[in-house]
Structure 1
Amino acid sequence: MTMGDLEPTNVELRYKIQPRKSDTEQALAGNDFDPFALRDNEHPTTDNETLTHLLKASLGTGILGMPFAFMCSGIVMGIFSTIFTAFICTHCSYVLVKCGHKLYYRTRRTKMTFAEIAEAAFQKGPKWCRGFAPVAKFSILFGLFLTYFGTCSVYTVIVASNFEQLIAHWTGTAVSLRMLICGMLIPLILIAWVPNLKYLAPVSMVANLFMGLGLGITFYYLVQDLPPVQDREYVSWHTLPQFFSITIFAMEAIGVVMPLENNMKTPQSFLGICGVLSQGMSGVTLIYMLLGFLGYLRYGAGTEESITLNLPIAEWPAQAVKVLISLAVYCTFGLQFFVCLEIVWDGIKEKCKKRPTLVNYVLRTVMVTAAVVLAVAVPKIGPFMGLIGAFCFSILGLIFPVVIELIVHWETGFGQYNWILWKNAIITLCGIAALTFGTQAAIKDILKAYSNTENVGE
Structure 2
Amino acid sequence: MAPEVKVPLLEGRGATPAQTLGNIVVSIVGTGVLGLPYAFRTAGWLAGALGVAGAGAATFYCMLLLLDCRDRLREQETEEDGHGGEQRPHGDGGNYTYGDLGERCFGPVGRHFTEAIIVLCQTGGTVAYLVFIGQNISSVLPALSSATVVLALLLPAEVALSFVRSLSALAPFSILADACTVLAVAAVVKEDVQLLVKRGQPFAARSAFAGLWGVPFACGVAVFCFEGFCLTLALEASMSNRAKFRPVLLQAIAGVTVVYVSFGVCGYLAYGDATRDIVTLNLPSNWSTAAVKVVLCVALALTFAVMMHPIHEIVESRLLAPGGWVRRRGGFVERAALHLSRVAVVATLAAIACFVPAFGEFAAFVGSTVCALLSFVLPALFHLRVVGPTASTWARAVDYFFLLSGLVFAGHGMYTVLSPQ
Report the TM-score range of the alignment, normalised by the length of the smaller protein. Answer: 0.7 to 0.9
Matched, 1:117 2:101: yes
1:333 — aligned with what? Answer: 304
1:319 — aligned with what? Answer: 290
Aligned residues of 2:44 and 2:207 also touching (Cα < 8 A): yes
Q: How far has the Cα of 1:306 moved from its partner?
A: 2.0
Q: How far has the Cα of 1:441 moved from its partner?
A: 3.8
Aligned residues of 1:191 and 1:331 also touching (Cα < 8 A): yes
1:5 — aligned with what? Answer: none
Aligned residues of 1:341 and 1:364 also touching (Cα < 8 A): no
| Matched-pair identity in % | 23
| Residue of structure 1 aligned with 2:266, choices 282, 290, 294 | 294
Q: How far has the Cα of 1:376 moved from its partner?
A: 3.5
Q: How far has the Cα of 1:214 moved from its partner?
A: 1.1
* Structure whose CA Rg is larger: 1
Aligned residues of 2:377 and 2:406 also touching (Cα < 8 A): yes
1:206 — aligned with what? Answer: 176
Counterpart amino acid of residue 162 in structure 1: N
Deviations 1:328-378 (A, max 9, x none): 42244233212223433555666369989x968963663254223442476
1:381 — aligned with what? Answer: 356
2:417 — aligned with what? Answer: 442
**2:48, 2:62 → 1: CA distance?**
21
Counterpart amino acid of residue 277 in structure 2: E
Matched, 1:404 2:391: no
Q: Secondary structure at the match of 1:273?
A: helix
Counterpart amino acid of residue 374 in structure 2: L
1:136 — aligned with what? Answer: 110
Q: Secondary structure at the match of 1:442?
A: helix
Aligned residues of 2:136 and 2:297 also touching (Cα < 8 A): yes
Aligned residues of 2:69 and 2:382 also touching (Cα < 8 A): yes
Structure 1's 108 and 297: CA in aligned 2 closer, same or farther, altered over 3 A?
A: same
Aligned residues of 2:159 and 2:342 also touching (Cα < 8 A): no
Aligned residues of 1:162 and 1:326 also touching (Cα < 8 A): yes
**1:142, 1:187 → 2: CA distance?**
27
**1:361, 1:420 → 2: CA distance?**
51
Matched, 1:152 2:152: no
Q: Which moved more, 1:322-331 or 1:249-258?
A: 249-258
Counterpart amino acid of residue 275 in structure 2: T
Structure 1, unaligned runs of 5 or more: 1-40, 123-132, 449-458
1:414 — aligned with what? Answer: 391
**1:79, 1:321 → 2: CA distance?**
26
**2:57, 2:280 → 1: CA distance?**
27
Counterpart amino acid of residue 12 in structure 2: P
**2:141, 2:31 → 1: CA distance?**
21
Q: Secondary structure at the match of 1:158?
A: helix
Aligned residues of 2:130 and 2:353 also touching (Cα < 8 A): no
**1:389, 1:244 → 2: CA distance?**
8
Q: Which has the higher contact order (CA 8 A, sep 6+)?
A: 2
Aligned runs of 1:171-210 on 2, under 5 Å? 173-175=143-145, 177-210=147-180
- TM-score if structure 1 supplies the norm length? 0.72
Structure 1's 395 and 286: CA in aligned 2 closer, same or farther, altered over 3 A?
A: same
Q: How far has the Cα of 1:247 moved from its partner?
A: 1.3
Aligned runs of 1:31-50 on 2, under 5 Å? 43-44=11-12, 47=15
Aligned runs of 1:77-96 on 2, under 5 Å? 77-96=47-66
Deviations 1:92-148 (A, max 9, x none): 1232233234324534433332122112023xxxxxxxxxx3332222222222331
Aligned residues of 2:203 and 2:269 also touching (Cα < 8 A): no
Q: How far has the Cα of 1:316 moved from its partner?
A: 1.9
1:306 — aligned with what? Answer: 278
Structure 1's 60 and 441: CA in aligned 2 closer, same or farther, altered over 3 A?
A: farther
Deviations 1:26-71 (A, max 9, x none): xxxxxxxxxxxxxxx9942664666555434422221112112222
Deviations 1:142-169 (A, max 9, x none): 222233134324423432332232222x
Aligned residues of 1:160 and 1:177 also touching (Cα < 8 A): yes
Aligned residues of 2:25 and 2:252 also touching (Cα < 8 A): yes
Q: Secondary structure at the match of 2:139?
A: helix
**1:221, 1:347 → 2: CA distance?**
49
**2:24, 2:304 → 1: CA distance?**
14
- TM-score if structure 2 supplies the norm length? 0.78
Paired residues, number: 385
Q: Which moved more, 1:433-442 or 1:298-307?
A: 433-442
**2:28, 2:353 → 1: CA distance?**
26
**1:431, 1:158 → 2: CA distance?**
27
**2:236, 2:316 → 1: CA distance?**
18
Matched, 1:392 2:370: yes
| Residue of structure 1 aligned with 2:220, choices 245, 269, 273 | 245
Structure 2, unaligned runs of 5 or more: 1-8, 78-87
1:37 — aligned with what? Answer: none
